[in-house]
């Protein structure tokens, strides 16, 4: 397979695919009225910046390895061994898909603490008390920031939308 900056071309495809989807999302956001596009456009720009860092970290250059180590100290270098297995990659995708489904069904204020708790407890292997404390802290932060400071109504989810 062809290599670019020391890494196989396939190593860049996930980030490039997300960049295309994010660019489309950003283009759609700019079609909204100014007030309605403020948050989606900011999220898209942040995502593009994170994807740029991701692309840099996938290279096998000194900069790429430095960025990868700075953003993820536990990460292996590209040349030190095999990368993540297909199951681990699929598992990561399924966690995000489940989180997305939870947001759609039960809303942001319920889905975020549920995800934080599950990720810390089951993926991170931490204790129940640690996971519960992190989920409670995250929920409090989201409520205070969006509900109290910004006075924004968070999406309640399909199951809790009043008809």
- Residue-wise pLDDT for 81-125, tens only, equals 555 677 877 888 899 999 999 999 998 999 999 999 999 999 888
Are residues 88 and 42 part of one domain? no
Which pLDDT band, with edges at 50, 70 and 90, does 58 fall under? confident
* Inter-CA distances, 74 with 48, 69, 77, 83, Å: 23, 7, 10, 13
The tokens of 7 are what?
Answer: 């890494």
Q: Do 112 and 54 share a structural domain?
A: no
- Verify that 89 and 163 share a domain, yes or no: yes
- Measure the N-to-C terminal CA separation of the chain; round to a whole number of Å: 54
- This prediction has a pTM of 0.56
> Looking at 24, 59, 82, which one is the last position of a domain?
82
Domain stops at, among 39, 57, 82: 82
Residues 139 and 151 in one domain: yes
Q: Which domain holds residue 105?
A: 84-163
129 and 105 in a common domain: yes
Separation CA 159–CA 121 (nearest Å): 26
Q: By three-state DSSP, how is residue 80 classified?
A: coil
Cα dist from 70 to 36, 82, 125, whole Å: 35, 20, 23
Q: For residue 90, what are its two tokens? A: 């699929």
């Amino acid at each position: 397979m062809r290599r670019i900056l020391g890494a196989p071309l396939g190593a860049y495809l996930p980030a490039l695919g997300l960049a295309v989807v994010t660019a489309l999302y950003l283009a759609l956001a700019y079609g909204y009225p100014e007030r309605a596009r403020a948050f989606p456009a900011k999220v898209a720009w942040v995502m593009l910046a994170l994807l740029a860092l991701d692309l840099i970290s996938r290279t096998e250059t000194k900069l790429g390895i430095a960025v990868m180590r700075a953003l993820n100290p536990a990460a292996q270098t590209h040349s030190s061994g095999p990368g993540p297995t297909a199951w681990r990659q699929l598992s990561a995708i399924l966690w995000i898909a489940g989180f997305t489904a939870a947001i759609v069904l039960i809303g942001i204020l319920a889905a975020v603490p549920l995800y934080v708790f599950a990720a810390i407890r089951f993926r991170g292997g931490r204790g129940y008390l640690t996971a519960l404390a992190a989920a409670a802290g995250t929920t409090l932060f989201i409520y205070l920031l969006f509900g109290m400071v910004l006075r924004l109504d968070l999406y309640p989810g399909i199951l809790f939308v009043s008809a």
